[in-house]
Amino acid sequence: MGDWTGILRLDAEERSGKTVAGNVYFQGAFKVMRPVYHDHSGQACYYILNPGGGYLDGDRYQMKISLREGARLTLTTQSATKIYKTPNRPAYQETEIILKKGSYLEYIADPLIGYKNARYKQKTAIRMEKGASLLYSEIVTPGWSPDGEQFSYDCLQFVNEIYVDEELAVYDHIKLNPAEQPMHAIGVMEGCTHMGSMMVVHDRIDQDFLDRLYNELQQAPGPVRFGMSLLPIPGLMLRVLGRSTQSIESMHSACHRWIGGELFGTTPSFLRKY
């Protein structure tokens, strides 16, 4: 396994209208449950588990997900990802996702929580063929601190790259560094403590689609701030700032429901977790 704390490999394919795993491999502090089928669509749902309970000093995780033509998959975590203090080396996770034409991946992670003195870097490379679709979301929240400080983590960094037919189309980089940034300032967290991001890629997304979604989300409950923009490829980015995990989750859920109905004629499944 080399110097990786946990490794996960998952290859999914479509067989007779149902998405199944062609290959599943995991080792170390990464595991994946058997697939769950929430409805009769054939779309599989996999839950990722971290039996270690959290990311510690110097932990390194690697995940590779591949969907063949026509495969439809929901990938989620069983619980929040907790980043504890990393006094010597930051925790690190890299993910590579390969989506073939006609495939669809929903990657819906539970919140990532940065505790006091936590350092973490995450790099995600998504390689798509034209005609593939993607919904990718994540939420970043501050963890408990003994002195009540809202931004007690040292640095949380997220790099997302989307390649379409091997050409870099989207580059998104978020670096939350309380030691060097005035976190409540304009252009950073603007008085908020929690951040959510959702990227959606689909051939039918254009300015009219974005405008209609924006009008829909303006009616969503919860005290949040949000903004949306088109990607350089047919797709959109939603960014949400709030002061609680629940308020951002509500906005993400509203966006997911509307997109599911507009693009696929479906209602997102309830991802029950314990």
Confidence of residue 181 (pLDDT cuts 50, 70, 90): confident
pLDDT at 271 over 80: no
pLDDT, tens digit, 9 for 90 and up, residues 4-63: 999 999 999 999 999 999 999 999 999 999 999 988 889 999 999 988 789 999 999 999
Residue 62: which residues within 8 A CB-CB, separation 6 or more? Answer: 4, 6, 7, 8, 93, 94, 95
The pair phi, psi for residue 125, each rounded to 5°, is -115, 120
pLDDT at 76 over 80: yes
pLDDT at 273 over 60: no
Confidence of residue 272 (pLDDT cuts 50, 70, 90): low
- Annotate 4-42 with b (16+ C-beta within 10 A) or e (fewer): bbbbbbbbbbbeeebbebeeeebebbbebeebeeeeeeb
- Average pLDDT rounded to a whole number, residues 242-265: 93
pLDDT, tens digit, 9 for 90 and up, residues 119-143: 999 999 999 999 999 999 999 999 9
| pLDDT confidence of residue 268 | 79
Q: Break the chain into its structural domains and give their ranges.
A: 63-264
pLDDT averaged over every residue in the chain = 93
| pLDDT confidence of residue 270 | 67
Residue 114 to residue 126: CA distance in whole angstroms: 24
Residue 260 to residue 195: CA distance in whole angstroms: 22
pLDDT, tens digit, 9 for 90 and up, residues 211-241: 999 999 998 767 899 999 999 999 999 999 9
Confidence of residue 114 (pLDDT cuts 50, 70, 90): very high
Q: Is the dihedral of CA 18, 51, 58, 23 positive or negative?
A: negative
Q: pTM here?
A: 0.93
